[in-house]
Structure formats: structure tokens, C-alpha cells
């Protein structure tokens, strides 16, 4: 791949199609935040360690700072903005609010997207499975306990529906 060149890509982000020309050095995180104005995914470490930039690429959660946008032509992406339901917070987002899931909140989008990915395939995860799903996400405010409780609450609600 020539990093000095540009590439035309077609992607679907939050169910909306985009045809866009990007510099080959552009990461998915840069594309989302700087070109598409979707700022839910946060830039923390920018080197795949903190998980604050987590989004879904297809059905998998990924660190968007580690994905080159030129490599995702034809793919579907889901960001924090895309999981709202009819303009309202999703049950997962609400459970973070109700449960005081975070303090400063910077890590929350990444935790929520990792948990969302888990709950897509496992409506009733065990505590270990939840911990495993968020093992790539860091919280500098040490809100791990309330984050875990928020995800448990959300999983209980989704399995009751
Ligand atoms: S900003 Fe991507 S993992 Fe930290
Ligand atoms: S609540 Fe501040 S980094 Fe997690």
C-alpha cells in the first residue's frame, strides 16, 4: 500500500452510505471524527491500548485508531451515535446513566460499544464474559465497578425483553 496516495472508499456508517476519498494514512478514528463529524469514539492513546475509540466493524468491536480507513472499503461501521433508538438513548446507554457508570465519561463510549458488541450475541452474559468483553477498555477514573454494574443491568433488561 502506498501511504502517500489517496483511496476512494464506500462505507456504511450507522446505516448511512458514504463515498469518500481519503488519504491512505487516515485511520478509521480520524475518518469518523474529522471527516464525518461523529465524535462519539474518543482518541485516548491512539495506539490500541485504551479502547476509548472502540466501534463495531461489521459485527466485531475494534480499536478504530488501529484500522486504516483505506482497508475498509465496502464495510459497515457502527458507532456510539448509531446505537440510539429513535433519537433516544439505548437501554445500554441509559443503564450507564442510571448506574452512574462513569465519572469523567471519557472512556464510556468505548465501554458501551464493547458491551454492545457482547450483548448482540449474548443476551445473558456471565460476569466473567462481561469482564472479558471489556478487558481492552481502560478507565483512568477507576470506575470499573459501576461500569460492570451498568452492563449487568443492561443485560438483565435485554434478557427480560
Ligand atoms: S485511542 Fe484507540 S485504543 Fe486508545
Ligand atoms: S470515567 Fe473517566 S476515564 Fe473512565
Domain range summary for the chain, segments of one domain joined by +: 6-82, 84-160
Which of 34, 55, 61, 63 has the most ligand 1 atoms within 8 A of CB, as the residue to mutate? Answer: 63
Which DSSP helix (H) or strand (E) runs through 6? strand 6-13
Strand order in the sheet with 76-78: 16-23, 6-13, 76-78, 54-57, 60-63
CATH class of 84-160: mainly alpha
* pLDDT surpasses 70 at 3: no
- Max intra-chain CA distance, the chain: 52
Whole-model pTM: value is 0.94
Minimum-distance ligand 1 atom for the alpha carbon of 53: 2
Give, in order, the Cα–Cα distances in Å from 129 to each of 44, 106, 123.
25, 23, 11
DSSP letters, 9-34, are EEEEETTEEEEEEEETT-BHHHIIII
pLDDT mean across residues, the chain: 94
Check: CB of residue 37 under 8 Å from CB of residue 100. Answer: no
Return the pLDDT at 99: 86
* pLDDT surpasses 70 at 133: yes
Running DSSP on this structure, what letter comes out for residue 40?
A: -
- The CATH number that domain 6-82 falls under is 3.10.20.30
Ligand number with the minimum distance to the CA of 51:
1
- For residue 105 and ligand 2, the question of a CB distance below 6 A is answered with yes
Ligand number with the minimum distance to the CA of 65:
1
Amino acid at each position: 500500500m502506498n501511504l502517500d496516495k489517496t483511496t476512494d472508499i464506500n462505507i456504511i456508517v450507522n446505516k448511512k452510505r458514504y463515498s469518500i476519498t481519503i488519504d491512505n494514512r487516515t485511520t478509521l478514528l480520524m475518518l469518523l471524527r474529522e471527516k464525518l463529524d461523529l465524535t462519539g469514539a474518543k482518541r485516548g492513546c491512539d495506539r490500541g491500548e485504551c479502547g476509548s475509540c472502540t466501534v463495531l466493524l461489521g459485527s466485531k468491536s475494534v480499536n478504530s485508531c488501529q484500522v486504516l480507513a483505506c482497508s475498509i472499503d465496502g464495510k459497515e461501521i457502527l458507532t456510539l451515535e448509531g446505537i440510539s433508538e429513535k433519537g433516544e438513548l439505548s437501554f445500554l446507554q441509559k443503564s450507564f446513566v442510571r448506574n452512574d457508570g462513569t465519572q469523567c465519561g471519557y472512556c464510556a463510549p468505548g465501554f458501551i460499544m464493547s458491551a454492545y458488541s457482547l450483548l448482540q450475541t449474548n443476551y445473558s452474559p456471565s460476569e466473567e464474559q462481561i469482564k472479558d468483553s471489556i478487558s481492552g477498555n481502560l478507565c483512568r477514573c477507576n470506575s470499573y465497578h459501576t461500569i460492570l454494574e451498568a452492563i449487568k443491568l443492561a443485560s438483565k433488561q435485554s434478557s427480560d425483553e
